[in-house]
Structure 1
Amino acid sequence: MNIIELDLTQNQQEISRLLEEHSRRMDSSIPPYQREVISLAAYENGVFIGGVTGDMVWNILNVHLLAVDPGYRGHGLGKALLEELEHRARQRGCKVSELTTMSWQAPFFYQKQGYEIFGEIKDCPHEGQSKYYLQKNLKPGSPS
């Protein structure tokens, strides 16, 4: 056996192929693992002021990055970006959204947007700080 470093894209393709083969052997009704990316940006007068990225797999939206320029915080831009990402994910059939955030970042912001904490890693990266795992139901008729 020889363990080497491999280009990320190539490694992801090989790992995905093995996982697909395993899924088909376990349950042929499991749909293919197909990732669709959504990347949204907000500009004002040609200047980038915020953005959000996520991807969707198996009707789950995974929010990866959300940031707003400090001069535009507190005016609803983060909420608008997140709502637009969720809207586009709903249109593509997503039923739930998930994300992670650190205790010093935005857990309260996400909770105000309807996300619920379902997991926590304490003392990460330092004592007294935490990494939170949050989720939100995106099904029609669920609270926003």
Structure 2
Amino acid sequence: MRIEELNQEQNQQEISGLLEEHSRRMDDSIPPYEREVISLAAYEGDTYVGGITGDMVWKILNVHLLAVDPVYRGNGLGAILLKELEDRARSRGCKVSELTTMSWQAPHFYQKQGYGIFGEIHDCPQEGQTKYYLKKSLE
């Protein structure tokens, strides 16, 4: 046996196949693990000013990245992007949204958008900082 690096896309396909096979053996009513990506961008004229990405699996939206150009922060663009992502996921059947953020990033922003903290890792990546796990019902 050997362990080697493999192209991420190919490896994800192989892993997904193994997981699908396992799920079918455990409970054949479990739906397929099908990932759908949503990627939204905001522009002021021709200038990129922010964006958000996420994916949906098993009626769960997983928010990956959200950023707004510092010049445009504080005007609600982050909330608009997040709401648009949530609305599109909801229209595709998603029931809940989940994400992670760091203590120096945006935990309070997400809480203002209706997300609740359900987990924390303290002293990550270094002492005094925290990684937060948040979720929100989309129903």
TM-score where L is the length of structure 2:
0.99
**Map 1:78-93 → 2, pairs under 5 A:** 78-93=78-93
Provide the secondary structure at the position in 1 that maps to 2:110.
helix
Question: How far apart in 2 are the matches of 1:39 and 1:95?
Answer: 19
User: Match for residue 8 of structure 1?
Assistant: 8
2:104 aligns with 104
Give the corresponding residue for 1:132: 132
- Give the secondary-structure state (helix, strand or coil) at the position aligned to 2:64: strand
Mapped partners of 2:48, 2:75: distance in 1: 16
Q: Take 1:71 and 1:41, find their aligned partners in 2: how far apart are those partners?
A: 16
**Structure 2 unaligned spans of 5+:** none
User: Which whole-Å CA distance do the structure 1 matches of 2:99 and 2:58 have between them?
Assistant: 15
Q: Which amino acid aligns with 1:125?
A: P
1:142 aligns with: none
Partner of 1:45: 45
The 2-side partners of 1:138 and 1:119 are apart by 19
| In 2, Cα distance between equivalents of 1:92 and 1:45 | 29
Q: Give the whole-Å Cα distance in 2 for the aligned partners of 1:16 and 1:93.
A: 21
Q: Partner of 2:80: helix, strand, or coil? A: helix
Work out the CA distance in 2 between the residues paired with 1:50 and 1:136. 22
Q: Which residue of 2 aligns with 1:19?
A: 19
Deviation at 1:45, TM superposition (A): 1.2
Percentage of identical aligned residues: 78
Which 4+ stretches in 1 moved above 6 angstroms?
none
* Distance (Å, rounded) in 1 between the aligned partners of 2:137 and 2:14: 32
What letter is aligned with 1:8? Q
Which runs of no fewer than 5 residues in structure 1 stay unpaired? 140-144
* Distance in 2, Cα, partners of 1:72 & 1:135: 26
Matched position secondary structure for 2:10: helix
Instruction: Give the whole-Å Cα distance in 1 for the aligned partners of 2:69 and 2:5.
Output: 36
Aligned to 1:59: 59
Amino acid at match of 1:90: R
Partner AA of 2:114 in structure 1? G
Give distance in 2, aligned partners of 1:38 and 1:3: 33
- What secondary structure is seen at the aligned counterpart in 2 of 1:6? coil
- CA distance in 2 between counterparts of 1:115 and 1:69 reads 23
